[in-house]
Amino acid sequence: MRSICAMRSLLAAAAAAASAPNVLRASAFPSRPPLLSLPFRRGRALAARNMLGAARSVSAAVQSRAGGGAAVEARAAQSGEIHVIVGPMFAGKTTALLRRVQAEAGNGRSVALIKSDKDNRYGLDSVVTHDGTKMACWALSELSSFHEKLGIEAYNEVDVIGIDEAQFFDDLYDFCCKAADRDGKIVVVAGLDGDYKRKKFGSVLDIVPLADSVTKLTARCELCGHRAFFTLRKTQETKTELIGGADVYMPVCRQHYMDGQIVIEATRIVLDLDRSTTAAKALK
C-alpha cells in the first residue's frame, strides 16, 4: 500500500514538472572560463604551416642540386603509387603487368618497362608473356641504374614504371620508395612471391607494406586443373635462381605440390643409390 502511494506521489510530481514552463537557471550551469585554447591552436596551426613550407623549400633545394629541377618538384607534388602483382609461374603476372602499362599509355601517360637481364628466355630487349605478347623494355642488373641510363630529363618525363621478374632485383625496395615517394611515379611490379620451396623469393614481399594494392594471381594445376598457388620444379637442381619455363617448372595445387615433393625426394634417393652403386663397382 505504501509503495502504491509513493508511486502516485512520484507520478503527480512528474506531471507538475511537465506542465511547468521550461526555465533554465543560470546557477544550474556553472559559468565557463573563456576559451584560452583557441589562440593556442591557431598558433600551432600557423607554426605547422610554416614548418611545412620550410620543409618543401629544403626539399626543392635538394632536388635542384641533385639535377631534378622544377620538373622533379612538380612531379613530387603528385602522389606516387605502387601496385604489386604476385603469384606462381604461369599465373599471368607478366600479362597483367603489360595490360596495366598499356592502359596507362592509352590514357596519355609516359611509360617505361624494366626487366632483369638475368631473364634472357625471349631476348633482352622485350618483356614477353608465355603466349608471345611482347613490349620493349630496359634489361638491367640493378634498378638503381635506370635513372642514369635513361637520363635525368627523360626520367622526369616518365609517369609509369613497370617492373617484370622483380624477384631478381636486390634493390627493389629502395627503388620503389624513391620512385613513388620522392618522384611521384606510378610503379607496377610483377614477380614471384615464393620460390619452388615456397620460401620468400627476393624482395617482392618486402614492398607489400609500401603498396597501394596487391594482386595475388593463381594458375591452373597442371595435374588436376584446380587452382594452382605454387610452383613445382621438375628437375633435381637445388639453386634458387634457375631460369626456365615449362621444361623446368609447372604450376600445381597444394595437394599435388606435396605429392610432387614426395616423388622428387624418392627420385633423389634412387639416384643417390644408383650413384653409390656405380662408385662401388668402379672401386672394385
- Residue 112 in this model has a pLDDT that exceeds 90: yes
- Give φ, ψ of 163 to 5 degrees: -125, 120
Domain borders along the chain are 78-217, 218-283
- Residue 225 in this model has a pLDDT that exceeds 90: yes
165 in active site: yes
Smallest Cα–Cα separation from 81: which of 169, 174, 210? 210
Contact 218, 227 (CB under 8 A): yes
Could you report the per-residue pLDDT of 163-202, keeping only the tens digit for each? 999 999 999 999 999 999 999 999 999 999 999 999 999 9
pLDDT on residue 27: 40
pLDDT on residue 268: 64
Which of 81, 165, 237, 265 is flagged as catalytic?
Answer: 165
* Mean pLDDT of the chain, nearest integer: 79
| Kind plus residue range of the DSSP H or E element containing 55 | helix 37-65
What type of residue is 224?
A: C
Instruction: Kindly list the distances between the CA atom of residue 65 and the CA atoms of 25, 70, 183, 213, in Å, as whole numbers in the listed order.
Output: 68, 11, 15, 33
Smallest Cα–Cα separation from 234: which of 268, 210, 282? 268
pLDDT on residue 47: 55
What type of residue is 160?
A: V
Contact 162, 113 (CB under 8 A): yes
- Sequence-separated (6 or more) residues with CB below 8 Å from residue 88: 192, 194, 218, 219, 228, 229, 230, 231, 251
Instruction: Kindly list the distances between the CA atom of residue 115 and the CA atoms of 54, 123, 180, in Å, as whole numbers in the listed order.
Output: 39, 11, 18
- Cell 591452373 locates to 220
* Fold of domain 78-217: Rossmann fold (3.40.50)
**What is the Cα–Cα distance from 274 to 266, expressed in whole angstroms?**
12
Strand bridging mode 249-252 / 230-233: antiparallel
CATH class of 218-283: alpha beta
Could you report the per-residue pLDDT of 227-253, keeping only the tens digit for each? 999 999 988 888 888 888 888 899 999
Band (pLDDT 50/70/90 cuts) for residue 270 is low
Contact 80, 184 (CB under 8 A): yes
Could you report the per-residue pLDDT of 147-168, keeping only the tens digit for each? 999 999 999 999 999 999 999 9
